[in-house]
Amino acid sequence: MEALDKAYWNARYESGETEWDMGTVSPPLRDYIDQLPNKNLRILIPGGGNSYEAKYLWDAGFHDVTVLDISSVVIDRLKRQHEQTGIKFETGDFFEHEAEYDLIIEQTFLCALDPSLRQAYARHMYDLLWEEGRLVGVLFNREFEAPGPPFGGGIKVYRRMFEPYFSFKTFAPCYNSHPARQGKEVFINFRKLDPLSRKR
């Protein structure tokens, strides 16, 4: 499999091969954001791509928003598009990123990673979240016939991956997905486990 590194993702964005891009904020995430009362949350969108959610958050009054992506092409583009906002756009490797957040939004990031990295992904999400922080987002609830990315999965696979690190508030098929993804997504709303309560 081709290395899914910075050069790979820069080439995808330069060539416009971004078929995962819905062109708008994900409806399940929009609905989740709309009911959040605390505008002071420190929010990360890793593997953010075109990050429609970031602009939606900013317009809704959330002003501590960070978008992280390994592609300098898409990050430079976003900096130009949203220079009038205070959204932080950073080029970098998720697994090397160090900070603390109250909320991490997952939107087509996990499906872009080699499946061999999934356990490390779950662990690093845990490490980036502050006490009782939340990981919220959408995951593909299907497998793909063609070689990834995107890489698919299902609730049973994801459950094993996340169980050591999070308690599950919501972990169910989406009822309000974008029309292009109806019946193909699972919505997650996970709370970081206290270190003393984590399963060994």
The predicted-structure confidence for 157-189, as pLDDT tens digits, reads as follows 999 999 999 999 999 888 887 777 776 889 999
Q: H or E stretch including 8?
A: helix 6-15
- Mean pLDDT for the chain? 89
The CATH superfamily label for domain 6-11+27-197 reads Vaccinia Virus protein VP39 (3.40.50.150)
pLDDT of 54 above 90: yes
pLDDT of 50 above 50: yes
In the structure encoding, which two tokens stand for residue 103, read together?
């909320």
How does residue 23 score in pLDDT terms, banded at 50, 70 and 90? low
Report pTM. 0.92
Residue ranges per domain, the chain?
A: 6-11+27-197
pLDDT of 115 above 80: yes
Strand 166-173 relative to strand 129-140, pairing: unpaired
How does residue 200 score in pLDDT terms, banded at 50, 70 and 90? very low
Our CA dihedral for 90, 96, 102, 104, rounded to 10 degrees, sits at 70
| Pair 67, 94: CB distance under 8 Å | no
Task: Give every CB contact of residue 89 below 8 A, 6+ residues apart in sequence.
Answer: 66, 67, 69, 75, 78, 79, 82
Distance CA 121, CA 133 (A): 16
- Mean pLDDT for 123-139 is 96
Look at residue 149 in the predicted model and tell me its pLDDT: 79
Using the CB atoms, write b or e for 9-45: b if 16+ within 10 Å: bbebbeeeeeebebeebbbbbbebbeebeeeebbbbb
Strand 101-107 relative to strand 129-140, pairing: parallel
